[in-house]
Structure 1
């Protein structure tokens, strides 16, 4: 997500307000997150409303009154308090307000998973779903189809996950599918994996291995990568026998290719040069 300076400041204020709201023992972070994402859906559909609440030249109090008037009976007071912070701030554009509100909703859902001790589970489930979508081009096309009905896409995700994933995982994945923002679905879900890892100041290493890694091998690899990158690293490992042997490790934009297939390809390039 790319935001201009004014929007970054507005997002920081909204995140601070979210922390305050979720600090109340009676507030359900998951419910707040789901409500905020439902407002993202409303603003996506209603272009005029999105422009009105994202107009930084208008009166901030008028914008907050408008949102409260429309949503008073539809979302909870904690969600309205976060929305007050969002629409009362100055954003660089209505689109960036929408992106920021979506980010705040996702943060609320990940906070819910963290508070319930399920953040690791949600992170792993997101990774597994991203790999399924990445391996199935027809599924990716169906979920990315801009003219396809939204409910049809939701049904696809619910059939894919059924009762096998945490509700927070399902809601987050559905949001990526409903509002992909020009990304592939797999990339959008991978961004959520990174967001979950970042909550504990960890980097994500995507590891492709020709064979199953033992717990000891995973620990050694994680320790080595932490030494290289200077922060804890969480491994997400995918088995792919097609690479022949060894590992391919991707951290951010960096790729460490220690696979047999990678070495063969490197040799071919050398011979061709």
Structure 2
């Protein structure tokens, strides 16, 4: 399994090395939770982060430091992975915590087994709810509210309605490496699709697609991109008609509004 990420240079090489250990973890759900916790500690302790990524220190010494801090607090497999991590070279100091968070997301997605597609859908739906509800968006971004308070709010909204893995990732989105909750959820959706060997597409339409139409669109996009596509549909009546597809940096805009805008520009020119 190969999961794309934004890491470069030495950090990308470190991620590739560590990914093998994550794939072999016996309890992916526990591994994900523990990696989130370790990443949080590294972010909150700049001195520890600097020592853990210092290339002038022997890997054995850094592994010993990790052992003294996390032994008994995380599983043996997670501890071994973190020890391996501090023995790697990193392009930037912050990349250590960010990679551990990323691997935590991968592990959490893997823990869902055959429900990875449902997980991606639930993350997409929750992200849409955050974007569409200013009060919720403000509550989750309010620096005056504690992380625990925000986490309780998220759990109150999702517990019993979404997969436990969805809830775990929604909570992690509150304090991970991403600038906003929306950005984190979007990144997690991509990881969920990658774990399934798929690409994620956002499809904007004026009216809901039937299941058959959605399947045909996914099949057509899969043929075009040479891999399976996980389709997320957003209904926007203002588009009037047609369809807009967003896959990574690619945009295919065939909406009526887009065509009218093009016509208007041509007339103005």
Both structures adopt the same fold (TM-score exceeding 0.5): yes
Match of 1:168 in 2: 165
1:193 and 1:17 mapped to 2: Cα distance? Answer: 22
Match of 1:61 in 2: 60
How many Å apart are 1:217 and its aligned residue? 1.0
1:3 and 1:120 mapped to 2: Cα distance? Answer: 25
2:155 aligned to which of 149, 154, 158: 158
1:209 aligns with 2:205: yes
Match of 1:15 in 2: 19
SS at match of 2:169: helix
2:137 and 2:265 mapped to 1: Cα distance? Answer: 31
SS at match of 1:91: coil
1:196 aligned to which of 192, 196, 216: 192
SS at match of 2:57: coil
How many Å apart are 1:168 and its aligned residue? 0.8
Residues 17-49 of structure 1: CA distance to partner in whole angstroms, max 9, x if unpaired? 2223x2xxxx31101110111111111111211
Match of 1:4 in 2: 8
1:262 aligned to which of 250, 255, 258: 258
Match of 2:48 in 1: 49
The 1:161/1:272 distance shift into structure 2, 3 A limit, reads: farther
1:229 aligned to which of 198, 214, 225: 225
Any conservation in 2 of the 1:153–1:178 contact (CA below 8 Å)?
no
Q: Which structure 1 segments of 5+ residues have no match?
A: none
How many Å apart are 1:148 and its aligned residue? 4.0
1:170 and 1:39 mapped to 2: Cα distance? Answer: 19
How many Å apart are 1:10 and its aligned residue? 1.2
How many Å apart are 1:127 and its aligned residue? 1.0
- Structure number with greater CO (CA < 8 Å, separation at least 6) is 2
Supply the RMSD in Å over aligned alpha carbons: 1.8
1:74 aligns with 2:70: no
2:149 and 2:264 mapped to 1: Cα distance? Answer: 45
Match of 1:112 in 2: 111
The 1:180/1:72 distance shift into structure 2, 3 A limit, reads: closer
Match of 1:123 in 2: 120
